[in-house]
Chain A
Amino acid sequence: MSQITEHPAHLQHHFTDVHQQAESAKLGMWIFLLTEVLLFGGLFCFYAIYRSWNPDMFHNAHAFLNVWMGATNTVVLIVSSLTMALAIRSMQLGKRKLTMWFLAGTVLLACVFMVIKYFEYSHKIHLGQLPGKWYFFEGIAGTNPHIFFSAYFLMTGLHGFHVLGGIGVITWLFIKTARGSFSPEYYTPIEMTGLYWHLVDLIWIFLFPLFYLIG
């Protein structure tokens, strides 16, 4: 028990040193990201198969998505990914204030993303371009256009939930940073959240062309 006093406060008892603890956290995070990829993977599979069955319907339906909103959102998310990466870099260099600025920027951009998403969704809901049995829009040629919107709402919806989760966690990081919980020696939570946030960005990088550009 006397050993513990020699150790930094953030080192848990079953690890021998900080390095082991950080590497464990990182491996755990990467495996978590792997499960996320496969979780989205089910939906990508669903998309791929129905698209291969009804390519024309997918093409016709995708024209009803707003490319400019989608492109704006892509830019917003890429920039937020950059600010997140820079937040980590700032903490590595021990610049606490700068880290807070970058974290705040990330949250802000994520909110912008969600606001744009909200306008897109409400427009679609208004027109009746909805999944499954709720679909009542007329004017898309092809069999079962509601399937396209099932895919659209499921995939962007699940992605949206991840963005919301990210907003929550990054806000929490902001508060922790403000309280001085992190240092160049210990910033694992920021680094892990960063990985998560980049994955969210990465998934959007694929969702954007699949829905908005090629349908």
Chain B
Amino acid sequence: MKDDAAQRHILPLNLYLAVGSGLLVLTVITVVVAQMDFGPMNLLIAMGIAVIKATLVAMFFMHLKYDNKIYMLVFSGSLLFLGVFIIFTMFDTLRRGDIYEEIAEPYLKEAVIYRKAETTTALSHPAADTSNTASDTVTSDH
């Protein structure tokens, strides 16, 4: 039962209040910023603020900063594997019908390459990913 207080992490009230108001301020910022258009940066900004907010919650409300590091490991582990899931699936979904041209280079001169379309045309039957279908997109290099 040594260093009981440390084990139980009784944090000062002001810290909780500070973190809480920080979260509210960030919420306001993200809403305000979202009204402006930064093009592709929109996603990055919104997600960046969300990550900061999430870190605050995890570190202070969930005590990860003060607790045994194993809990941090468990939590980051879940995010790591979630990342693997999404990114590896995207290796497929974003690159369908796309053979990397560097490797195909030697064949390119005399080959028809099955690859991603520059223009999109809907198929005769329903297609989820019209921008990625390869049907009418078999382009010739001659």
A19 to B16, CA, bound (A): 25
Q: Is residue B68 within 8 Å, beta carbon to beta carbon, of the partner chain?
A: yes
B7 and A49: CB pair below 8 A? Answer: no
Q: Which 8 A-B pairs have the closest CB atoms?
A: A209-B46, A213-B34, A34-B78, A82-B20, A37-B78, A41-B82, A30-B74, A85-B61
How far, in Å, is B11 (CB) from chain A's closest CB?
A: 7
List 12 contacting pairs A-B, 8 Å CB cutoff, sorted by A: A19-B1, A19-B7, A31-B74, A41-B86, A44-B86, A45-B89, A71-B31, A78-B24, A81-B57, A89-B10, A205-B57, A214-B34
Interface majority SS (helix, strand, loop, mixed), chain B: helix
A-side interface size class: 35 or more
A213 to B35, CA, bound (A): 8
How many A-B pairs have beta carbons closer than 8 Å: the answer is: 132
Q: Which residues of B contact A144 (CB under 8 A)?
A: 128
Interface centre among B8, B10, B70, B128 (most CB of A within 10 A): B8
A30 and B16: CB pair below 8 A? Answer: no
Contacts A37-B79, A78-B27, A213-B34 given; indicate if A53 touches B93 (C-beta within 8 A): yes
Given contacts A33-B78, A209-B47, 18 further A-B contacts (CB under 8 A): A26-B71, A27-B70, A30-B75, A33-B75, A41-B82, A45-B89, A48-B90, A49-B86, A50-B128, A78-B27, A86-B16, A89-B10, A92-B10, A144-B128, A194-B61, A206-B50, A208-B50, A213-B30
